[in-house]
């Protein structure tokens, strides 16, 4: 894939796998996936820089700080690489959690443009969904 790391209309971009774990502590995601999170939320605890206790448990894996490109496709590939070969583990996490999804943050430099996905990336994301239906 030909990335455009200095994507001219993008100010900032990153992707995040977001796992909201219901009443379970988010560390079960780390144990199942074998991946350390970028951040976690623990219900009832006050996170650094916040004033109020968290109302949800959450586990997050973000490309922010790991990928320095302004091309969201590179960030998505980074996330897909982190999850490669872990389809069964991710399925277990999804089944045990309240909500799991991938979010893509993209900030425009000039009010124009937007992130792109390649067909290969769409297939890569879809294979995790398809694994849930088997």
Residue 3 belongs to a domain: no
pLDDT in tens, 84-109: 999 999 999 999 998 999 999 999 98
Q: Which domain holds residue 120?
A: 11-132
pLDDT in tens, 107-131: 998 888 788 888 888 888 887 665 5
Residue 6 belongs to a domain: no
Residues in the chain: 134
Q: Which of 7, 6, 9, 26 lies closest to 17, judged by CA? A: 26
Instruction: Give 4's Cβ-side CA count (13 Å radius).
Output: 10
On whether the CB atoms of residues 80 and 124 are closer than 8 A, the answer is yes
Residue 101 belongs to a domain: yes
| Count of Cβ atoms closer than 10 Å to residue 86 Cβ | 16
- Provide the number of structural domains found in the chain: 1
Instruction: Give 27's Cβ-side CA count (13 Å radius).
Output: 2
pLDDT in tens, 3-41: 999 999 999 999 999 999 999 999 999 999 999 999 999
Residue 128 belongs to a domain: yes
Average pLDDT value for residue range 42-59: 92
Instruction: Give 55's Cβ-side CA count (13 Å radius).
Output: 1
Average pLDDT value for residue range 40-59: 92
Percent of the chain scoring above 90 in pLDDT? 75
The encoded tokens of residue 60 equal 């997050």
Look-up: residue for tokens 């199942």?
Answer: 32
């Amino acid at each position: 894939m030909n990335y455009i790391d200095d994507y001219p209309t993008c100010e900032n971009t990153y992707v995040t796998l977001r796992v909201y774990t219901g009443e379970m502590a988010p560390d079960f995601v780390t144990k199942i996936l074998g991946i350390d999170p970028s951040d976690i939320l623990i219900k009832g605890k006050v996170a650094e820089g916040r004033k109020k206790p968290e109302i949800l448990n959450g586990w997050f894996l973000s490309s922010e700080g790991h990928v320095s490109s302004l091309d969201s496709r590179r960030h998505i590939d980074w996330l897909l690489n982190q999850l490669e070969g872990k389809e069964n583990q991710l399925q277990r996490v999804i089944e045990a959690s309240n909500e799991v999804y991938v979010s893509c943050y993209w900030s425009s430099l000039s009010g124009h443009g937007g992130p792109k996905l390649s067909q290969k990336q769409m297939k890569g994301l879809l294979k995790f969904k398809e694994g849930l239906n088997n």
